[in-house]
Amino acid sequence: MKKWILLVCLFLPITVNGIIITEVQVSGDSASNCYIKIFNPTDQDILLDGYKIRKKSATGKDYSIRAIPKGTLIKSQEYILWANSKDDFSEKIKADIYSTATISKNNSIAIISPTGDIIDALSWGSGEDQYVLGDSFANNPDKNQTIKRYYIDGAYQNTKNNSKDFYLYPEAEKEIKINTSTINNIADPPKSPTETKITISLLSAFLILILKKSIY
């Protein structure tokens, strides 16, 4: 009997604290075009009954993004995707779960277990009293820019420090500012001595020719 129980348990999905946040978009073409990508890096399927995705605003106020539906399974080495449902955005990007919640600058998000433990968290910008692991990721993403977890040598980096584990994608283009007033005020370069001598010789020859014509 014990052997049968053991065999059954081996094939059942388990609930463990292994899932991680791998990517977040705060806004896209619309301010509500936001999503959160969650990954299961373990070798076991994970049943997410009772799990919640929550956020904190810039002032530290706590809100629900989505209580993950009962029966939601995240398979080993696979993802689930939450997205905002406005204007069918969640449907367009084929999100697994959705709600009307939004995220924005200087916010943070967390995956909360059924027992209230923080499984993973990500904070960006400079909000107050945030969900965070280690130090907050310092930058706020622009529209259509995401906060992504580093993926190195076939695995996601997880030092449990937001400032070290994430980066902006794509990187912001660096502006090269040109001081047009300085360019416009640049004087013509001085003529070389040779150019000056040639100019004087030509003028002298021209004057001599005019004098000869007047004499004859």
Query: What pLDDT does residue 195 have?
Result: 55
Kindly state whether residue 200 falls inside one of the protein's structural domains. no
Kindly state whether residue 181 falls inside one of the protein's structural domains. no
Mean pLDDT of the chain, nearest integer: 84
Kindly state whether residue 188 falls inside one of the protein's structural domains. no
pLDDT tens digits for range 172-192: 665 444 454 443 454 454 555
Kindly state whether residue 142 falls inside one of the protein's structural domains. yes
Confidence category of residue 10, pLDDT binned at 50, 70, 90: very low
Choose among 151, 57, 38: nearest CA to 101: 57
Neighbours of 147 (CB within 10 A): 22
- Beta carbons of 62 and 41 less than 8 angstroms apart: no
Kindly state whether residue 55 falls inside one of the protein's structural domains. yes
Domain span holding position 88: 13-169
Kindly state whether residue 210 falls inside one of the protein's structural domains. no
pLDDT tens digits for range 150-163: 999 999 999 999 99
How many structural domains is the chain composed of?
Answer: 1
Say which CATH number the domain at 159 has: 2.60.40.1260
% of the chain at pLDDT higher than 90: 70
Kindly state whether residue 100 falls inside one of the protein's structural domains. yes
